[in-house]
Structure 1
Amino acid sequence: MAVRRRWLSRTAAAALLLLAGIAVPAAPTRAVEPGEPKFTFDVTGMTVTSGVSMKRAYLRITNLTDETPIAIEFRVRPILEPDYWIDNAYLQWATQTASSGECDGDVDGWYCSINQSIGRDLLPAPGGTADIPIDIYVSEKSEPFEGRFYVQVTMMWDEYTNRTTDRREFTLALVDAREADLSVVAPDVTQSVRVGAGGRLENTGTLNPGETGAVRYRIVNQGEKAVSGVRVTLRLPEKVTFTRPPQECVIDDDGRSAVCTYDSLALVPTDETDPKDHVHSAVELYNLVTVPADIKAPVTLAGGSVQVEGLTDGISARSAPKRTDLPANAVAVPAADVDATDNKDGYAVVVAATAGDGDGGNGGDGGGDGLPVTGPQAGLIAGAGIAMVAAGIVLLLARRRRSVAFVSGEDTTAS
C-alpha cells in the first residue's frame, strides 16, 4: 500500500505543478529575438541648397518590437568644434511644432525626451515609424560646408530600466546649387476616415479590419527654384488596396502600386509664397485605402512608400502659374507649417482589433509584411483550459485512492 500511496502522491504532485505552471498568464510574445535590434533610425534631408536659411529634416525611428515604447531620448552633437558649426549652420529641435517633446535648449549640442505625457504622438507603434522634426538653420554668410554630427537614440519599454541605445554619425552638407528641393513625409496610417464637407477628411477612430483609412503625405519645395507639376509614386503594404483612386492616378496590375501625375500643380520656394495668391510651396495629399475584413488584428502592415519628383524645373516664381487648381484630394499647406524629408518616405498601416472581439481580430492569417501584435490573451485562454483538465486529473486520482482503500481494506494487492 505504501508503494501505491507514494505513486499516487507523486502523480498528484506532478499534476498540481502542471496546474500551477500553466495557470500563470503568458507574457506578451516579443516580435524580435534576444540580441536582435529593437529599433532602427536614420536622419534624412541633410543637404541644403545655397540661399536657403532654414530647412526641416527628420529623425526617423522604426520600432521593430510588438510593443509601443513608453519613452524615447535622443542626443544630437557636432563632432568638430561647435564654433566651426555655428559659423555655417546648426541643428535645432523643431519646438514650434505640435507634440514637440521636452529639450534642454542648447544649440551646439542638445538632448530631448519624448514620453507618454509629452510628445505621445511621436512614439512609434509596434512595427511603425515616427518622424521627429529637426530644423537646420544656415548662416547668411555661409559657404559650401560639410559637418559631421552624431545622434544617439535610446528607446524604453515597460520600465525606464528596460532600454536599448544606438548611436550613428551623419553629415550635413551645404551645397552651391540653386535648384528645386522637393521632399515628402508620410505618417503611418492609424485612423479610419470619411470624406466630409469640401472634400476634407474626418477621422472616425482607430482603423479596424474592413475599414477605410487614408495615406496622407505632405510635399514641400525647400529649394531655390520652382517646379511645374509633380509625379507621385505610391506603394501600399501587402493586403491593403486602393479604395477610390483619383483620376490623376494609374493603378498597377497588382492593385497596390499607383503613379499619380499632377501636371498643373506648381510648387515655388517657401520664401516666395504670398497668402493672398494661390501659388503654393507645399501641399498635403491623400489616397483612400481599405484593409480586408478578414485580416487578423491587431497587426501592423509595413512596406508602404511614397516617392515624389518634380516634372518641370528651371522656372521661377514669376513664371509659375498665378493660380494653381489643386486636385480634388489635395489641401494647400501654409509655408509656415512646412515639413521636410527627402524624396521618399516609408509608412505602415496599423490595424487595431475591433472592440469586443474576443480573439483579437476577425480571422485571417495576418501574414505578409505585417508585424502581429501578440499578448497574454491567447496563452491565458489555453492555459485555463489545460488547467481545468489538470485539476480533473488530481480529483480523479484522489477519488480513486479513497475507493481502493475502502474496497480492499488491508489487502495491499487490491487494484
Structure 2
Amino acid sequence: MIFRTRRAVSLAAAALLASGAFTALGAPAQAAGTETDLAITAAGTRTTDGVQGKFGWAKIANLGEGTPSKVLIKVDTSKVDFDKLVVGAFTQGDCEVVGDLKPELWVCELAEDEIPGPGETTEVPLVLFKSTEETIGAYKAPVTISIESPDDTDESNNSIDIDVEVTPESGVDLGVIVPDVKSRLDLDTLDELGPLNPGDRTAVYSEIVNQGDLTAKGMKLTYQVPEGVSILPIEGCDLSADKRTVVCEDENFVFEPDTILVLPLPVEVSKALDAPVTLKGGSLEAAAFGVLAPDARLSQQQRKPAFAAAELRKANESEFTDLDPSDNSDDFAVVVSAPSDGGNGGGGGGGLPVTGVQAGLIGAVGAGVVLAGVAMFLVSRRRRVVMVAPGDEKSNS
C-alpha cells in the first residue's frame, strides 16, 4: 500500500449552501414503471459536547424493483432546542426550511443522481452542531425523519423516530461511509473510466472519520464484498480464502479527532456474472482498540497506518467503548452493468463524468453554512485526511 496525506475537500452540495439556494418543492409527478419500496434508517446521531458538531446519516434504501421518479426527505426538528443544538439535512436537490424563529422542518428533494436504484442506498448527511461554542452538557431531543415518493408502494417503513443526543463524555467517535460501487475506476488515480461490467476491476471507496474529542489507539478495518466480487490482495492485510473478506489492522496507529482515513479497496468483478445485476451484501466495519490520554505525545510515524508492514494478529479484547457505535459500519452494493458490446467483461466504454467516487463525503466542513438567512457552522477548522491509495495490489491471475 502507498500512504499519503491530503487536505479535506468541501462536501459537495452539502456544506456550500446559502439562503438563496432553498426553494419551495412542488408535488412530485407520477411516472410510469417506477413503482418501488423505499425504507429509511439513520445512524450517527449522538455526539460529545467536546466538539462543535458531527455528521450523521439518514439512509434511504430501495428494497423494490423500480427506480422512483421523485423522492423527498423530511426532518422534523420542531422539538429540538435551537439555543443548544441545530439539526439539519442536506441533499444535492432543492431544500426548504420551515420555521419562523428556528428551523422546525427540513424538506429536501433528492437530485436525480441521488435517487437509489433497486438494491441501492443513498446516504443523506445529517448535521448536528451546537448553537454556540459553549459546553451544553447532556442533552437529548426527539426527531422524526420521513421520506415521500409517489412511486412508493409500502409506506410502513417510510418514517422513523430517533433521538439526537449530546453527551458530556469525552471519547472516540468513529464514523464510516461507503457509497455503492457503480463505476469502473482506475486503481492508481481513481478516475472514472465508465460503467462497471463483468470482469472489470474497480475500487470500493470508503472513509472513516474520528468525530470525537479524543485520539484512538489502534485501528481494525473489516471489509466484506458481495458474492460475485473478489478483493485483490493488499500487502499487510489478511485476505480470506474466498477473497470476499479482508482485515487490515494496526495496533500502533493513532487516529486523531478531525482526521479521516480514506481507503479505496481494490476489487474485481466476476466475468461469469449475468449483468445487469445489483450485488448486495458488502460492508465495512471499523473498530478502535483503545483511547489515548489527552496529554499523550504522538509521533509522526504513529499518525500513518502501517497495514503494509504491520504484523498480522487478532484484535485485542478491550473495555474501550465508542461514543456512538451506530455509525461504525456501513453497507454497500456493487452495481454491474451489461457490457455495451454484448460481450463478457473488460468492457466499459469511457468518457463518463466523475460520479462514481464522491471524494470528501465526510471531510466536509471547514466552511460556514447559511440556512434560511441564519449563519450556522459545524466545524471551523479544516479536517486532516489520511489517504490510503491502492498501489501494491496483486493479482493471482
Assess same fold via TM > 0.5.
yes
**1:213 has 2:202 as partner:** yes
Aligned residue in 2 for 1:177: 169
Q: Which amino acid aligns with 1:125?
A: G
CA deviation digits over 1:26-46, x for unaligned, max 9? Answer: x9797x7xxxxx121111001
Aligned residue in 1 for 2:136: 142
Aligned residue in 1 for 2:109: 114
In structure 2, distance between residues paired with 1:86 and 1:306:
34
Instruction: Verify the 8 A CA contact 1:55 1:137 in the aligned structure 2.
Output: yes
Q: Which amino acid aligns with 2:268?
A: T
In structure 2, distance between residues paired with 1:150 and 1:59:
11
Instruction: Verify the 8 A CA contact 2:97 2:104 in the aligned structure 1.
Output: no
In structure 2, distance between residues paired with 1:233 and 1:328:
12
Distance 1:317 1:210, change over 3 A: farther
Aligned residue in 1 for 2:312: none
Aligned residue in 2 for 1:89: 85
In structure 1, distance between residues paired with 2:277 and 2:211:
35
Instruction: Verify the 8 A CA contact 2:50 2:135 in the aligned structure 1.
Output: no
Aligned residue in 2 for 1:306: 284
Distance 1:249 1:218, change over 3 A: same
Q: Which ranges of structure 2 fall in alignment gaps of 5 or more residues?
A: 1-31, 309-324, 346-397
Distance 1:326 1:121, change over 3 A: farther
In structure 2, distance between residues paired with 1:28 and 1:110:
31
| Alignment of structure 1 residues 237-248 onto 2, 5 Å | 237-242=226-231, 244-248=232-236
In structure 1, distance between residues paired with 2:46 and 2:108:
26
Coordinate RMSD, CA, aligned: 2.7
Q: Which of the numbers 90, 95, 103 marks the counterpart of 2:95?
A: 103
Distance 1:317 1:63, change over 3 A: farther
CA deviation digits over 1:324-363, x for unaligned, max 9? Answer: 335699xxxxxxxxxx971010000000111132xxx759
CA deviation digits over 1:5-58, x for unaligned, max 9? Answer: xxxxxxxxxxxxxxxxxxxxxx9797x7xxxxx121111001111312111111
TM superposition shift of 1:306: 0.3
In structure 1, distance between residues paired with 2:203 and 2:117:
17
The alignment partner of 2:113 has SS state of: helix
Aligned residue in 1 for 2:41: 42
Distance 1:68 1:264, change over 3 A: farther
Instruction: Verify the 8 A CA contact 2:208 2:262 in the aligned structure 1.
Output: yes
Q: Which of the numbers 175, 186, 192 marks the counterpart of 1:203?
A: 192
TM superposition shift of 1:167: 1.7
Aligned residue in 2 for 1:234: 223
Compare relative contact order (CA 8 Å, sep 6+) and give the higher one, 1 or 2.
Answer: 2
User: What number of residue pairs does the alignment pair up?
Assistant: 290
TM superposition shift of 1:320: 2.5
Distance 1:104 1:341, change over 3 A: farther
Instruction: Verify the 8 A CA contact 1:266 1:321 in the aligned structure 2.
Output: no
| Alignment of structure 1 residues 318-329 onto 2, 5 Å | 319-323=297-301, 324-326=303-305
Aligned residue in 1 for 2:328: 343
Aligned residue in 2 for 1:53: 52
Distance 1:156 1:263, change over 3 A: farther
Distance 1:317 1:194, change over 3 A: farther
In structure 1, distance between residues paired with 2:270 and 2:306:
28
Aligned residue in 1 for 2:254: 266
**Whose helix proportion is higher, 1 or 2?**
1
TM superposition shift of 1:64: 1.1
| Alignment of structure 1 residues 2-81 onto 2, 5 Å | 38-78=37-77, 80=79
Aligned residue in 2 for 1:369: none
In structure 1, distance between residues paired with 2:141 and 2:245:
38
* Identity in percent: 27
Q: Which amino acid aligns with 1:185?
A: I
Aligned residue in 1 for 2:243: 255
Instruction: Verify the 8 A CA contact 1:226 1:314 in the aligned structure 2.
Output: yes
Q: Which amino acid aligns with 2:237?
A: C
Q: Which ranges of structure 1 fall in alignment gaps of 5 or more residues?
A: 1-26, 33-37, 271-280, 330-339, 364-415
Aligned residue in 2 for 1:286: 264
Instruction: Verify the 8 A CA contact 1:74 1:152 in the aligned structure 2.
Output: yes
Instruction: Verify the 8 A CA contact 2:88 2:106 in the aligned structure 1.
Output: no
Structure index of larger Rg? 1
In structure 1, distance between residues paired with 2:114 and 2:293:
37
Aligned residue in 2 for 1:130: 122
In structure 1, distance between residues paired with 2:290 and 2:135:
30
In structure 1, distance between residues paired with 2:182 and 2:204:
10
The alignment partner of 1:121 has SS state of: helix
CA deviation digits over 1:71-94, x for unaligned, max 9? Answer: 2101111363x5xx2132121124
In structure 2, distance between residues paired with 1:261 and 1:156:
45
